[in-house]
Every structure is written in structure tokens, then in C-alpha cells.
Amino acid sequence: MSMARWITGEIREMLEKAVGDRLRGVVVVGPGGDHDTEVVILDFGREGRLWVRGFDPDQVLWDNSPGDVKVELVEVSDGRDSRGGLNSEGEDICVGYGLATAALRRAGFSVVASMDGYF
């Protein structure tokens, strides 16, 4: 797989632009583990949230800067099911998921529903 550069601020801006007015807000939080980047959370209000994080199962990112690293994969999930991906039914979050994953793919990232199967 190819590696793409994850710069959290640029990812946040790209996703905000791609999803547009459907968003109610965007928050960035720290990484959840050693192999993932900072997390960009896209808030769709009552419809829920999408968690977007880059990761690489073969390298520890926490030792570096988790906001500026090359990653192999990007997880996009609404967190409603352990399988990851999109399990919501609201129009804004569903359209937002499609727009966000398309923008990430155009930026050179390989998008997956869950990072769990990689560890």
C-alpha cells in the first residue's frame, strides 16, 4: 500500500470543505493508541459523529508527531458498531461519510471501515 502524509490541520480543513454545511462542528483530539494519528471528529448534531484517524500497523506513530506523519491507512467510522464504517441512517451523516471518504481517497489515502483487523 502507498503512504500518504497526514497533517492534522490540513486534513481537518479538507474534510470541513468537502462536507460543508452538513457539519455542525469539528473537533481534534489526541491519538487513541501508539499506531494512530490525532483524531478528527466530524459532528453532525443529532445524527452522530464520524471519527477519522490515520494509522499504520507497522510503525509506532506516538513516538513521532501524531499530527504530521506518513500513514498507510485511514479509518472512518461512526462508532456505532464494532465492525466500524457507517452504520447511521441520517441523511447528513451518510452524505458526509461519502464526501469525506471521497476527499481522503483523492488525497491519496486508503480508507478502511475499522483499524481493528490490522492488529
Domain limits of the chain? Answer: 4-112
CA separation, residue 2 to residues 5, 22, 98 (Å): 10, 30, 21
For residues 37 and 47, what is the distance between their CA atoms, to the nearest angstrom? Answer: 25
Which residue has better confidence, 51 or 118?
A: 51
pLDDT in tens, 34-69: 888 999 999 999 999 999 999 988 887 766 676 788
Show the cell assigned to 90: 441520517
| 29 SS3 class | strand
Please state the φ and ψ torsions of residue 20, each to the nearest 5 degrees.
65, -140
Query: Taking all residues of the chain, what is their mean pLDDT, rounded to a whole number?
Result: 91
For residues 66 and 28, what is the distance between their CA atoms, to the nearest angstrom? Answer: 12
pTM of the predicted protein model:
0.92
